[in-house]
Amino acid sequence: RITIIRKGRTAETGTLNDLRHLTRTSINAELATPPDGIAALPGVHDLQIDGDRVRFEVDTAHLDAALRQLTRAGVRSLVSRPPTLEELFLRHYQDDLTADGETAR
Protein backbone atom coordinates (compact mmCIF):
# COMPACT_ATOMS: atom_id res chain seq x y z
CA ARG A 1 0.00 0.00 0.00
CA ILE A 2 1.03 3.52 -0.76
CA THR A 3 0.02 6.63 1.14
CA ILE A 4 0.75 10.09 -0.20
CA ILE A 5 0.84 12.70 2.56
CA ARG A 6 0.46 16.37 1.74
CA LYS A 7 0.57 19.14 4.33
CA GLY A 8 0.43 16.63 7.17
CA ARG A 9 -2.69 14.85 5.91
CA THR A 10 -3.31 11.76 3.84
CA ALA A 11 -3.96 12.90 0.28
CA GLU A 12 -4.37 9.45 -1.30
CA THR A 13 -3.93 5.88 -0.21
CA GLY A 14 -4.10 2.57 -2.06
CA THR A 15 -2.03 0.21 -4.15
CA LEU A 16 0.04 1.51 -7.05
CA ASN A 17 -2.62 0.22 -9.47
CA ASP A 18 -5.38 1.89 -7.44
CA LEU A 19 -3.64 5.26 -7.64
CA ARG A 20 -2.73 5.16 -11.33
CA HIS A 21 -6.12 6.61 -12.24
CA LEU A 22 -4.88 9.91 -10.80
CA THR A 23 -2.51 10.74 -13.62
CA ARG A 24 -1.67 10.06 -17.26
CA THR A 25 -0.53 7.14 -19.39
CA SER A 26 2.30 7.77 -21.89
CA ILE A 27 1.67 6.53 -25.44
CA ASN A 28 4.20 6.06 -28.27
CA ALA A 29 2.86 4.68 -31.53
CA GLU A 30 3.83 4.12 -35.14
CA LEU A 31 0.83 4.27 -37.45
CA ALA A 32 0.01 3.16 -41.00
CA THR A 33 -1.30 6.63 -41.86
CA PRO A 34 -0.79 10.04 -40.24
CA PRO A 35 -3.11 10.41 -37.26
CA ASP A 36 -6.16 12.61 -37.52
CA GLY A 37 -8.18 14.06 -34.67
CA ILE A 38 -5.98 13.07 -31.75
CA ALA A 39 -5.31 16.69 -30.76
CA ALA A 40 -9.05 17.32 -30.44
CA LEU A 41 -9.62 14.45 -28.02
CA PRO A 42 -10.26 15.36 -24.39
CA GLY A 43 -7.54 14.30 -21.97
CA VAL A 44 -4.69 14.29 -24.53
CA HIS A 45 -1.61 16.28 -23.50
CA ASP A 46 1.86 17.04 -24.89
CA LEU A 47 1.03 15.64 -28.34
CA GLN A 48 3.99 15.26 -30.71
CA ILE A 49 3.41 14.08 -34.28
CA ASP A 50 6.30 13.22 -36.59
CA GLY A 51 4.94 11.74 -39.81
CA ASP A 52 3.44 8.39 -38.89
CA ARG A 53 4.75 8.46 -35.30
CA VAL A 54 2.93 9.97 -32.33
CA ARG A 55 3.78 10.57 -28.69
CA PHE A 56 1.43 11.91 -26.08
CA GLU A 57 0.10 11.54 -22.58
CA VAL A 58 -3.54 10.81 -21.93
CA ASP A 59 -5.65 11.00 -18.80
CA THR A 60 -6.63 7.51 -17.70
CA ALA A 61 -10.33 8.29 -18.09
CA HIS A 62 -9.77 9.08 -21.80
CA LEU A 63 -7.37 6.25 -22.68
CA ASP A 64 -9.99 4.16 -24.48
CA ALA A 65 -10.99 7.00 -26.84
CA ALA A 66 -7.34 7.75 -27.64
CA LEU A 67 -6.62 4.11 -28.45
CA ARG A 68 -9.71 3.92 -30.69
CA GLN A 69 -8.47 6.98 -32.60
CA LEU A 70 -5.03 5.38 -33.06
CA THR A 71 -6.66 2.17 -34.29
CA ARG A 72 -8.43 4.12 -37.04
CA ALA A 73 -4.99 5.20 -38.32
CA GLY A 74 -3.72 1.59 -38.31
CA VAL A 75 -1.37 0.77 -35.45
CA ARG A 76 1.98 -0.75 -36.51
CA SER A 77 3.54 -0.57 -33.07
CA LEU A 78 2.37 0.72 -29.71
CA VAL A 79 4.09 1.27 -26.38
CA SER A 80 1.92 2.27 -23.45
CA ARG A 81 3.50 3.15 -20.10
CA PRO A 82 1.41 3.68 -16.98
CA PRO A 83 2.44 6.42 -14.56
CA THR A 84 5.33 5.71 -12.23
CA LEU A 85 5.22 6.11 -8.47
CA GLU A 86 7.25 9.32 -8.86
CA GLU A 87 4.69 10.74 -11.30
CA LEU A 88 1.86 9.93 -8.90
CA PHE A 89 3.74 11.61 -6.06
CA LEU A 90 4.59 14.71 -8.10
CA ARG A 91 0.97 15.15 -9.13
CA HIS A 92 0.14 15.95 -5.51
CA TYR A 93 3.08 18.31 -5.03
CA GLN A 94 3.23 20.04 -8.43
CA ASP A 95 1.22 23.07 -7.24
CA ASP A 96 3.55 23.52 -4.26
CA LEU A 97 6.67 23.20 -6.42
CA THR A 98 5.54 25.67 -9.08
CA ALA A 99 4.36 28.13 -6.41
CA ASP A 100 7.88 28.04 -4.95
CA GLY A 101 9.31 28.91 -8.36
CA GLU A 102 10.58 25.42 -9.08
CA THR A 103 9.67 23.38 -12.13
CA ALA A 104 8.06 20.03 -11.46
CA ARG A 105 9.20 17.13 -13.61
Span 61-67, average pLDDT: 93
| 92 compared with 71, residue with greater pLDDT | 71
Residue 27 DSSP SS3: strand
Q: In order of start, what are the domains of the chain with their CATH numbers? A: 1-22+83-105 (no CATH), 24-82 (3.30.70)
pTM of the model: 0.69
Whether 55 contacts 15, CB under 8 Å = no
Give me the pLDDT at residue 80, please.
93
Give me the pLDDT at residue 104, please.
43
**Average pLDDT score, the chain:** 83
16-33 per-position pLDDT tens digit: 777 766 678 999 999 999
